[in-house]
Amino acid sequence: MKFFTESEITTYFGQYDEQIEFIVSSAENWIDNEIGPLIPQKTVTIQGPKDKLTLEPYIVAIEKVMVNNTQIEVYDANLTTGEIDIQLESDDVANVTYYPSLEFTETLYPTCNYIMPSVYPVWYVISSNVNVTILRRMILRIDEPDEITVTYRAGLPINNEIKMAILLLSKYWYKNFSESLQGVTSYKIGDISVSFDKKSAIPIEINLVLEKYRKIHITDYGDIQ
């Protein structure tokens, strides 16, 4: 499992075994393929009052830095080298949590001035053979259509909404496995009613989350759909 601890899964399912672990890992991979790559948070221990982290093979694209579960503003991140300077208030040891991005190199063949890289959101363009501008963290704009080789850092930091979708999918698959509910469009137990999307047989609540984070598309004329 990439995004959950054993204790988190035990709390959600009320138990933990190899079967549940396999189902959760499969749900993680399925949703990762649908909207990812998803980036799990990283936690490291440093010694104050100031220390430097060098992230390899990860390069940092920080939305926030948490020190001992408290967000801090005093840090300096270098997206080129992947180093973070953390400034703490004392010499105490502290746990630092952050989201790192991944590095990708692609050769693209655009037919218009807009390119949709295969990974998003794009945080930083390291190098390219033409001038590139990042739009909406998902689209690259170039001056004219041309073959482009670009190296960039990207990835979608996993949040509580995505984690809940993974847990819901895990529970759904677990019920399918243990109770043979495949093909059922809805069921009701007492006051609890659950409905499924007939087309995909995936719970509607999960599809709503996936649609929120799936890529947008662009036309040959650069229009965003």
In 3D, which of 42, 171, 160 has the Cα closest to residue 102? 42
In a domain, 117, yes or no: yes
Kindly tell me if the per-residue pLDDT of 16 is higher than 90.
yes
In a domain, 124, yes or no: yes
Q: Of 121, 141, 157, which closes a domain?
A: 157
In a domain, 225, yes or no: no
pLDDT of residue 193: 62
In a domain, 66, yes or no: yes
Kindly tell me if the per-residue pLDDT of 199 is higher than 50.
no
Same domain membership, residue 85 and residue 46: yes
Kindly tell me if the per-residue pLDDT of 55 is higher than 80.
no
Same domain membership, residue 112 and residue 126: yes
In 3D, which of 160, 156, 129 has the Cα closest to residue 142? 129
In a domain, 132, yes or no: yes
Same domain membership, residue 167 and residue 145: no
In 3D, which of 123, 109, 95 has the Cα closest to residue 37? 123
Alpha carbon of residue 58 to chain centroid: 14
Same domain membership, residue 203 and residue 179: yes
In 3D, which of 175, 177, 193, 196 has the Cα closest to residue 185? 196
pLDDT digits (tens, 9 = 90+) for 84-94: 888 888 888 88
Burial of 12 (0-12, 13-18, 19+ CB in 10 A): middle
| Between 59 and 141, residue with greater pLDDT | 141
* Degrees, nearest 5: CA angle 12-18-21: 45
Query: Do the beta carbons of residue 162 and residue 30 sit within 8 Å?
Result: no
pLDDT digits (tens, 9 = 90+) for 170-195: 998 888 776 655 555 565 656 656 55
Q: Which domain holds residue 88?
A: 42-98
| Between 118 and 63, residue with greater pLDDT | 118
Looking at the structure of the chain, the number of domains it has is 3
In a domain, 218, yes or no: no
Q: Of 157, 172, 190, which closes a domain?
A: 157
Q: What single-letter amino acid sits at 204? A: I
Match 């959101």 to its residue by tokens: 121
In a domain, 223, yes or no: no
